[in-house]
Amino acid sequence: LDNATVRPFAMDTRGCFTLRKIQIGENSCVGAKSVIAGGATLPDGTCIGPLSSSHELCDAKPEHRRHCRPLRASPPLWLKVLCGWPILLLQRVLTLAPVVLLMVQMASTEWYVDSFTSIQDGVEYIATPERMGYLFAFIIFHRTVCPCLALAYAIAVKRCVIGAFKPTPQDEEPDVSSWQLFRPWLLGRLIPDAHLCGVAKLLGRHYEAISALYRLLGVKVGRYVYWPGSGFNFTEPDLVEVGDYVVFGSRSLILTSDAHHRRRVVTLEAGSNVSDRCVVLPGTRVKTGAVLGSGALTKEGAIYEPGTYVGSRGNECMQLKKAGAGASEPKETSYARAFGRRREASYTVLPEWFHIAWSTASICWACIVTKLPLVSGLMLAHLCFSDDWQAYSVASTLLVPSALIVLAYPAVLSLVLCMDIGSKWVLIGRRKPGSYAWDSSSYCQR
């Protein structure tokens, strides 16, 4: 199963949920973003392609097996142990270094205690006000500084050890040597998520800073590309070419190699568009003016001329309409005009550094909020006992902080809800139907 949905639940015509058995035969495979519905029976050896479903078994063919990523050969164990694991361990050590250094700094303070004579001493130390600041610092460092170090290390290993990926020549068999199997495996472990080790969330997921990071990984990226909030996890980033003004929807997937490790370049020309939940197979070329609509599936090695393509029928998207004259010339998107000519916009377009600062501050605030009930309860307990914890029983020193922490949770929840609802009305206001382009309305920015 390659990132597929297996859903035994369904809803009947009466609006009631039903639970139906699903049978998947031996040696079967299900492609990326495909759906297996309740009650489906897949015979042995069934191969469902990407973006398909159990209702389209007539389109299941053995050749779809090469697009099922879990069937990719893995590098030998000895290479993982001798080379891969030490590299990954070093990344982990480097990532945790700021937190460890902060712990060392905390241990050198005057109020730090390394041993306790009673339970009261332990609870009193846990509730020390100075310690709460370090607790917040640990969490914030883990969510901000550590991801940056992890990505920087991954980029260095990609450029110095893994190297650039190259397409497989058309008349040659793919190289499946141990080293060639090891390279994408290692990159996938160094950057295991679609948010670049979490750094994309700090920088704002759509903007030029993301393009800069992808360039460092080897992706050929043009200007003013609007990246999806869901991000991408490229297996071979050097084989992805993204032109100027390309716009992405969310939850799409770009594949640059098949299960046999045959690598092919995917090219998205300037001014093309890849909408939500698309699957782009190796060797695809989306030309200027072409729009892959929601749920579009490309064919391996196909070229898509200007026009609109949607869905998947017979394991390939359908052309909904052809583009008019002049569509083959790349045009600036409203996003490019807003950020490229900010002074010409009808509103104040905030510079990218502000979006980075806002995103980072939001993550820091979220880190604080998650621990705020705990910290609030301990601080109140510290005030209640007035630094004289030994005068109270063990039960009191345990029950009072616990009760205060429990009471702090609904209070913090109410505060967060008020902030969320209030910020919606302050920043966005009441939503109204209409068109809100980046260069003519502040709605997208808000």
The whole-number pLDDT of residue 189 equals: 94
Question: What are the tens digits of pLDDT across the range 10-30?
Answer: 888 888 888 999 999 999 999
Kind of pairing between the strands at 290-292 and 285-286 = unpaired
What is the identity of the amino acid at 417?
A: L
Q: What whole-number distance in Å separates Cα of residue 264 and Cα of residue 169?
A: 9
Answer for the pair 239, 266: CB distance below 8 angstroms, yes or no: yes
Residue pair 339/208 in contact by the 8 Å Cβ criterion:
yes
Mean pLDDT of the chain: 89
Q: Give the range among 33-37, 157-161, 389-393 with minimum mean pLDDT.
A: 389-393
Do residues 446 and 430 make contact, with C-beta atoms less than 8 angstroms apart?
no
> Percent of the chain, pLDDT > 70?
97
Residue 30 phi/psi, 5-degree rounding, is: -125, 125
Higher pLDDT, 293 or 117: 293
42/59 Cα distance (integer angstroms) = 13
Amino acid, single-letter form, for residue 411:
A
In tens, the pLDDT along 46-95 reads 999 999 998 988 888 999 999 998 999 999 999 999 999 999 999 999 99
Q: What's the whole-number mean pLDDT along residues 300-323? A: 90
Residue 7, helix vs strand vs coil: strand
Q: Tens digits of per-residue pLDDT, 385-425?
A: 776 767 777 787 778 888 888 898 999 999 999 999 999 89
Mean pLDDT computed over 250-267: 93
Both structure tokens of 145: 């500084």
Number of H helices, E strands in the chain: 11, 20
- Where residue 329 falls among pLDDT bands split at 50, 70, 90? confident
**Identity of the residue numbered 56:** E
Q: How far apart are CA 284 and CA 305, in angstroms?
A: 11
CB 21 within 8 A of CB 8: yes
Q: What are 91-100's contacts with CB under 8 Å, separation 24+?
A: 91/150, 91/153, 91/154, 91/157, 91/190, 94/149, 94/150, 94/153, 95/146, 95/147, 95/149, 95/150, 95/153, 96/146, 97/149, 98/141, 98/145, 98/146, 98/149, 99/138, 99/141, 99/142, 99/146
Looking at residue 302, its pLDDT comes to 92
Alpha carbon distance 305, 322 (integer Å): 8
Contact assessment for residue 320 and residue 302, using Cβ atoms and an 8 Å cutoff: no
